[in-house]
Amino acid sequence: MDTLPDAIAQQRTSTALRLSGVAAPRRAGTPGLENLDLELAQGDFLLVHGDAGAGKSLLMGLAGLSLKPAAGRVEVLGLNPWRLSASGRSRLRRRLGLVFQDLNLIDDMTVFENAALPLRIAGARSDAYKKDVAELLDWIGLGDRAGARPQDLDHDQRQRLAVARAVAARPEIILADEPVGWMGPEAAGRVLRLLLQLNRQGVTLVLASRNPDLAPASRRLELVGGRALPEIRT
C-alpha cells in the first residue's frame, strides 16, 4: 500500500486523472457506468455532458473519490486512491476541489466557515486564510452574507458558495457537477469565468452538465446510458 504522506502530498505527475475500464454500480435513476476509459493531463478542461441519468454524477463521484469503482482502475494525480490508507486518501482528496450536485453545504456553519472548510481541513490557521476567503466571497458576490447560514441563502447563492468552497484551497483538479445549473446568467458567467481562469493557471477542470455548450472546453465527453460516446477534442 502507498502510505507515505509526503509521497501523496508532493507527488507531481503530468496525468491528472486516469480511468481505465472503470465500471460503477447502478444507482436510482441511472444505469451505472460501463467500461469507461479516460485520461486527463494536468491543465486539461473536460466537459462531460449527457441527459439526466446518463452517468455524469457517477463519473464525478468516481473521479472525486466518493465512489469506489466496481471494476477497473482509477488514478488521481498519479495515485491509486483505493490502494491508499484512509488517511492517505484524505490527503489526496484535499488536492481536489469538489462542487457536488446537491451542494452538500454544512448547515450549522456560516457561509464563511463553509467556504473556508477545505483550508481548515488542510490544517491552515484562520488568520492565514481569513483575508483570502473574504476576498473570494466578495468576488463571488457573497461578501455581505459571510455570517449567514446556508439555509438563509437562495439556491443561486448556495451554488456560488459551493463553488467558492471548491476553489478556496487552490486545488489541482476541480470537479464540478452542474456548477451553475441554478444560477442566473450573470452569476453563471462570473462563476464560469473564475473556473476558466483557474484552468488557464494550470488547474485541471472537469465540468458535468446537461448543457453541451456550457463552456468552451478543450475536451468533451458525452455519456449516454452509462456509456461514453467517442470523445471530441478541440
Distances (CA, A) of 159 to 18, 66, 128, 199, 207: 28, 19, 25, 19, 14
Expressed in angstroms, the distance from the first to the final Cα of the chain is 38
Exposed/middle/buried for residue 22 (C-beta within 10 Å: 0-12, 13-18, 19+)? buried
Residue (82 or 231) nearer to another protein, CB:
82
Distance between CA atoms of residues 72 and 32, nearest Å: 14
52 part of the interface to another protein, by CB under 8 A = no
Contact between 179 and another protein by CB under 8 A: the answer reads no
Judged by CB under 8 A, the residue of 46, 58, 59, 64 near another protein is 64
CB of 96 to another protein, least distance (A): 8
| The dihedral sign for the CA sequence 152, 155, 157, 161 | positive
Q: Please, which of residues 87-116 interact with another protein by CB under 8 A?
A: 87, 89-94, 96, 98, 100, 104-108
What are the phi and psi torsion angles at 131 (to 5°)?
-65, -45
Q: Which residue has the cell 450549522?
A: 108
The smaller minimum CB distance to another protein, of residues 98 and 188, is found at 98
Q: How far is the CB of 210 from another protein (least distance, A)?
A: 23
Q: Which is nearer to another protein, 36 or 60 (CB)?
A: 60
Taking the complex as a whole, how short is the minimal distance between the CB of residue 110 and another protein, in angstroms?
Answer: 13
Out of 65, 115, 163, 207, the only residue in the binding site for another protein (CB under 8 A) is 65
CB burial readout 37-58, b (16+ within 10 A) else e: ebebebbbbbbbbbeebbbbbb
121 lines the binding site for another protein (CB under 8 A): yes
Which residues of this protein are in contact with another protein, per CB under 8 A?
64-68, 82, 86-87, 89-94, 96, 98, 100, 104-108, 117-118, 121-122, 165
